[in-house]
Chain A
Amino acid sequence: MSQNTEGVAQLELLKVRGITKQFGLNVVLKGIDLTVRSGEVLALIGGNGAGKSTLMKIIMGIYQPDAGEVYIGEERITSFRPAVSLQKGIYMVPQEPMLFPNMTVEENILIGFKEKHSELRSRLLKIMKDIGWNLDLSRKALSLTIAEQQIVELLRGLMRDARLLILDEPTSSLTFDEVESLFEVVDGLKKKGIGIIYITHRLGEVFEIGTHVAIMRDGLITLHGPIKDFTREMLVKGLLPKNVEEIEKEETAFEEVDYAHLEPVLELEDFSGYGFKDVSLKVYPGEILGVAGLVGAGRTELATTIFGREKPLGGKVLLNGKDVTGISTKQAIDAGINYVPEDRHLNGLFGIASVASNTTSSYLHNSSLGRFFLKDQKEFEITQKYIDDFRTKVTGQDQEAGSLSGGNQQKIVIGRCLATHPKVVILDEPTRGIDAAARGDVYSIILKLKQQGVAIVLISSDMEEIIQLSDRAVVMYQGYKKGELAKQEICQTSLMNRSFNIEVTQAEEA
């Protein structure tokens, strides 16, 4: 048992050593060492895909590690099941609360307990009183705001006498006041000796309530220690890849976009909607506009609102000067905008349909495919064109799209968008979850589009991708546009700073 600075004995609540985990051939965790003691608030930071949620799921008993040891309260865990972790005092408040929507708050918290209801109820009321929360126990969970739902999840953890609480991005959906009140709760828990792993993107919060900090990058912990030992600069550095020297810009044969002589094909004027506000930007034909930012920054919401999936709340969208604000998806496609969805399984792919069906789905209403009867020949030609152009590996046009590899699936979805001959293509995380070779193919598709004069909006969480491909870049943070970068300004640091909303002078970034 170690002791903190005041000499008070501190219990090791959680210790993990050498945790590795891979899914198929994708190695997510490469050897994680971490310790959390009672009364600590460990702020865990990491970019998208660093492996945080996988690590948490292992601690919660949802996954089993491939190698390494997990000790909870100095006791080695041999059986990985949620019931075991729960029983040992670990509770995770998920980022998206997993409540029972039609049960009341009280039922949600007390479900699964053996003791007498009245006993549990009084215990719950006492906990709520201790913390100073006043939530109406009889409300149905689906009527709660997200903040309230998170409180319910927290209460679930406290009722289980959790000694270690994992809060996964707890403030991502909270308003300012709610965040303050959450901090007070965390403070109170800290004083009680409960350990907390606090996963967040917000560096400001890290310094406000964290006692320790750890940074995960690419499956490893790159930084770990008491918060007082670190500055913001050091944290940002810890988030960057190992070879900290900036990746040299390749001498590429990309054409420089002649901005001086071009009119923007897509323009946003103070565009606001659900999840983003007052975004103004211009996209020019033949350019690749990178859109960087963290998960939750509002990039996808921006794209889907332009594409007619959600109602805009203010501002304008102009396509070649024409006002297209609030048009439907079909109108958007007809006008020349198309969008490759972020989640291809949920929104992009028709899993049990053929490659051909998938490719022509956006183009169906066009008369070239026939008036009433579907022109098989034309469909065949269109599908074949994209299979050939993209080097998509299929056994035939009839193959079910769901049986293709991720990369080939993505090519199909991109092909569908291009089949409508758009002037503006918005790509949302186009290379997520696909192998290196397919990635290269997707890049070549993007570059070819650029040559043809199509405007490309590239939403991506992969900084390298943005750096290499973009002519210009914008960064979004919490729904606002936080920076616009010219080609020579785009680099890891500048993107990272803006993604985390850190203001830095020009000189420091050079």
Chain B
Amino acid sequence: MNRSLAEKSKAFFKSWEFVLLVILCLEIVVFATKNPKFLKPAVLLGSLNDIISICIISLFVTFCMITGGIDIQAGSIVGLTSIIIGVSWQDFGFNIWTAVILSVLIAAVCGALSGYFVAYCDVQPMVVTLGGSFLYAGIALLISNLSATASYKGISGFPDSFKFISKYRFGDVLPLQVVIFLVLTVIAHILLKKTKYGRMIFLVGINKNAAEYSGINSKLVMMSAYILSAISASIAGIILTSYLGTAKSDLGATFTLQIITACVLGGTLSTGGKGSAIGTGLAAVVIGVLKFGLPLSFGVNQQYMDIPVGALLLVVVICRSLATNPKVVALTHKTPKAAIKKGSVKESLKAL
């Protein structure tokens, strides 16, 4: 391999993922010290239950952001998925798992539509997915009207096999949801860092022109990112519906900003070209633990949780800006540049 284990370890310790890991550990230590109940595995791992959806979606919105775009319709797709499951199972008599698959397929179509406009029509991702967020939330509401159940009530009474997804805990401790999240994190990580596809995602985001000159189909690559993120939103919707035991069309309405926060905190550059599934996953967990731990251990009101999250984001992003500020860089680095001499061709040839 091109790098020894020692070199790889060194690189890891300098990485942002490591910093996030340290923050996570600090959080756990601080919260556990204040309230030992925090360390109970069932409690600790269960804390993520509420935020699993956001964690999962963030993983794949990262793909969109690496290509230089953004996806703010994911939240609406969660609700759309949920209500499709509910209505098709209850009112149309579909088998629950057929309903699930149907919802994923529809989500993929939604993602493909927006992805097409972004990639092939060159429309700004923010606007397209903004429109998408309204559209899919609206469609979700209309679908809920197809049901006999009043939309504000939500559809419930799902079969146990469905509820199993969110109820089961390995060894009574590790929720299946969390395992799904971990598996997805690994999948996302492998996709991004180990496959040709992932490599293309990065290249397209770093320099779309150069990717085109390398013969990469940048349009297809970009569109695929939006399809993936939509599918992840539907997976999150499935899990959330199972967890709450109710299918409602407005699930996920408040997720968007939290998802973006997790992505950015995880090291993803909003301008594209940089991002990491592990970073996003860790960041999402950091945020989740923070939102759970502060109320539990310090009695901070749950409603105030936006402050530490927002503050964390700002601090990270300001520090990053300072770190790349040319004046600051000049103070800390001194790279010798080779002299640019316009030597004659003769001289250059002589050197051969």
Contact = CB atoms under 8 A, between A and B. Distances in A.
**Is there direct touching of A and B in the complex, by C-beta distance under 8 Å?**
yes
Interface of A: 24-26, 247, 250, 252, 307, 309, 328-330, 332-334, 339, 341, 346-353, 356-357, 361-362, 364-365, 369-370, 372-374, 376-377, 380, 384, 396-398, 403, 405-407, 416, 433-440, 443-444, 447, 462, 464-465, 467-468
A440 B349 contact: yes
A364 B196 contact: yes
B1 A376 contact: yes
B345 A435 contact: no
A411 to B, nearest CB: 13
Which of B3, B209, B348: most chain A CB closer than 10 A? B348
A339 B200 CA distance: 19
A440 to B, nearest CB: 4
Interface stretch (B126-134, B228-236, B240-248, B335-343): B335-343
A364 B195 contact: no
A351 B200 contact: no
Given A440-B348, A468-B349, 7 more contacts: A26-B342, A329-B214, A332-B215, A349-B210, A357-B199, A380-B2, A435-B341
A464 B214 contact: no
Contact of A435 (B212, B215, B338): B338
A468 B345 contact: yes
Interface in B163-188: none
Which of B211, B216, B217, B342: most chain A CB closer than 10 A? B342
Contacts of A252: 349
Contacts of A334: 215
B291 interface: no
Which of B194, B197, B337, B345: most chain A CB closer than 10 A? B345
Given A25-B339, A380-B2, A361 B212 contact: no
Contact of B345 (A339, A437, A465): A465
A24 B214 contact: no
Q: Which 9 A-B pairs have the closest CB atoms?
A: A436-B343, A440-B351, A330-B215, A440-B348, A361-B214, A464-B345, A362-B214, A439-B348, A333-B215
Contacts of B214: 329, 333, 361-362, 364, 416
Contacts of B252: none
B3 A361 contact: no
A380 B1 contact: yes
A357 B345 CA distance: 31
Contacts of A25: 337, 339-341
B48 interface: no
B191 to A, nearest CB: 10
Contacts of B342: 26, 436
A362 B215 contact: yes
B69 to A, nearest CB: 17
B7 to A, nearest CB: 8
Nearest to A248: B346
B217 A447 contact: no
A351 B346 contact: no
Given A353-B206, A370-B196, A462-B345, A437 B351 contact: yes
B340 A373 contact: no
Contacts of B3: 396, 398
Given A349-B210, A361-B216, A250 B346 contact: yes
Contacts of B197: 372
Nearest to A468: B345
Contact of A24 (B11, B337, B344): B337
A334 B352 CA distance: 31
A433 B198 CA distance: 32
25 contacts: A25-B337, A25-B340, A309-B212, A309-B213, A329-B213, A339-B213, A346-B209, A348-B210, A348-B213, A349-B210, A350-B203, A350-B207, A351-B207, A352-B273, A353-B206, A362-B215, A365-B215, A373-B196, A377-B1, A436-B342, A436-B347, A440-B349, A440-B350, A443-B352, A464-B345
B56 to A, nearest CB: 23
A435 B207 contact: no
A405 B338 contact: yes
Contacts of A365: 196, 215-216
Contacts of A356: 2
Nearest to B339: A25
B206 A351 contact: yes
A444 B350 CA distance: 10
A332 B343 CA distance: 35
B348 A352 contact: no
A357 B199 CA distance: 8
B274 interface: yes
B202 interface: yes
Given A357-B199, A374-B194, A350 B206 contact: yes
A252 B352 CA distance: 11
A443 B207 contact: no
A68 to B, nearest CB: 21
Nearest to A348: B210
Which of B206, B274, B346: most chain A CB closer than 10 A? B206
Nearest to A49: B342
Interface string B94-118: 0000000000000000000000000
Contacts of B200: 364
A369 B196 contact: yes
A252 B11 CA distance: 47
A250 B350 CA distance: 10
Contacts of A467: 345
B339 to A, nearest CB: 5
B196 A372 contact: yes
A346 B343 CA distance: 26
Contacts of A24: 337, 340
